Amino acid sequence: MSALEKILDKATSKTADKTTSKARLRLWLRLLKASKLIETELRERMRRELDTTLPRFDVMAALSRNPEGLKMSALSGVLKVSNGNVTGIVERLVEDGFVRRDAVENDRRAFLAKLTDAGRAEFARQAEAHEAWVDELLDDVEPERAERLAQLLGEVAAHMEEEN
């Protein structure tokens, strides 16, 4: 039996009900479509109105949540991207005065990336705009339904993380 056949056999045995399987496939496709539409709009607004990019915003958000700083490898792990991607973004944020690099004791090759005061102020400005845009983009979703959907998606994510 091929690897693909094993996967299909396992999927079939897990979800013998094809109606359920199709419903889950439709759910995935709709989640993907909604996510891409929202992300595309956020990227455009960030570029146009804040003169920044979503990856820069994501790096600043991660550093904002970790005021003690993060090593580049930890930052890459938090963002789930390669070290190379993060390094270029951090370099530009350092040049802009939003991030500083502090040496790590006992490791001459490593440093901690931290937001500067200017970086914290800029991130606060960007985060406020980002939150308002997301609120606007999802304003057709009633608050109770938004809470329930967030809870359900959190459960899905937790389940997926457990399996990995």
* pLDDT at residue number 12: 64
What is the overall mean pLDDT for the chain?
91
Q: In terms of pTM, does the model score above 0.85?
A: no
Task: Name residues whose C-beta falls within 8 Å of residue 54's C-beta, 6 or more positions apart in sequence.
Answer: 39, 42, 43, 46
Domains, the chain, in order of start with CATH, read: 33-163 (1.10.10.10)
Is residue 88 exposed (0-12), middle (13-18) or buried (19+ Cβ within 10 Å)? Answer: exposed
Q: Which residues of the chain have pLDDT under 70?
A: 1, 6, 8, 10-16
Taking CA atoms, 65 is separated from 62, 68, 115, in Å, by: 5, 9, 10
Those residues whose C-beta lies under 8 Å from the C-beta of residue 114, and which sit 6 or more positions away, are: 63, 67, 68, 69, 99, 100, 101, 102
The model's pLDDT over 55-103, given as tens digits with 9 standing for 90+, comes to 999 999 999 999 999 998 899 999 988 888 899 999 999 999 999 999 8
Given a contact cutoff of 8 angstroms between Cβ atoms, the answer to whether 72 and 110 are in contact is yes
Residue 70 CA to chain centroid, in angstroms? 16
